[in-house]
A and B are shown apart, each in its own frame.
Chain A
């Protein structure tokens, strides 16, 4: 094979990135086997009725600390087609920057009213919507004082669409120094939620996040 694919970048000041990023250029996939590299994720309706509202553990329990936000948008492929029935798995830190995950040993405050994980499906038009608490930033590298900016993790799967990404918040002080943001370069803006006012619903702020599943995989079976 003469031509090679991308050389993956290593996030500056990110130890795990240094330990886990392949050093060799990726190999190109021969055309004859290209299709076999496109997983088709079966439809999975593993959502529970109240999971779209992550601002409280269940409707009969109080709101968690911090600002309640709505995140909404569309999921489309690069050619503009809506992706229906895709599963969004969402997780974010609480108001204090702590995840309710057994491997989060940060010692930051847990909020007894915040679960921090939810799932929603895109509807017929490829739109989605969920509520959560605006996450706290957290200190990812105490040794060098590097923070991770506020972010919401999203894992998106359905048919040939498979994408794990994060939504960031505009004008956050730690955005510029985030190693993942640095790797994205000018394209970082695409992962930014766009604020909108929410006068008629019971949240403090809305963020629009339109997601585009790129690459050939997403449009392979058309």
Chain B
């Protein structure tokens, strides 16, 4: 934005907490499992199926019940589906890269595919959290032991402890062949997950 555009910009509506009662009614199975479109339909995303599992914890180590989690990732070829990649030959028509769930307990499970590495990046998934008591907070998770992690510009800017806090760790294989990864988020306190500022950055 130029100075002039900034001066003329409309003042943004304040973000606000989603409160404790984000409607479960708004849940959508197709946003909680990005590997398939709908049962009974011969269509699904390309790539290695993975299940991301974990807990969202508060400052006291208690489960943060009622959190809404959103996920955003590249497809198996490392391409994000954005207006900028429209028509790209490696777009997967069966994969949007956007997922959402609400967790009653604070434990979550999200089915997706392993993102490919975008140019210059290690494979990652952006996670947005909404919950009672806070506005939107954002982080990015990575996959432990992936060789590209050593050169990822986001990870390189963090100290080793914080880098470690962004690693999803392999935890076996599900019956249907999906690889299971664990990733806990600590919203506040000693072992706090690093969160990123997408308003000021």
> B-contacting residues of A (Cβ < 8 Å)?
1, 4-6, 8, 11, 14-24, 26-30, 32-42, 44, 46, 76-80, 89, 91, 99, 101-104, 117, 119, 153, 155, 159-160, 162-166, 180, 184, 187-188, 190-191, 211-217, 219, 221
Contacts and interface: CB of A to CB of B under 8 A. Distances in A.
Contact of A155 (B8, B11, B18, B154): B18
Contacts, number: 229
Contacts of B62: 19
A89 B60 contact: no
A21 B133 contact: yes
A28 B58 contact: no
Contact of B153 (A24, A30, A216): A30
Chain B interface helix/strand/loop/mixed? loop
A26 B13 contact: no
Interface stretch (B22-30, B38-46, B171-179): B22-30
A158 to B, nearest CB: 11
A163 B199 CA distance: 12
Chain A interface helix/strand/loop/mixed? mixed
Contact of B12 (A21, A44, A213): A213
A32 B96 contact: no
Contacts of B120: 32
Contacts of A19: 58-60, 62, 64, 133, 187-188
A38 B19 CA distance: 23
A26 B23 contact: no
B158 A37 contact: no
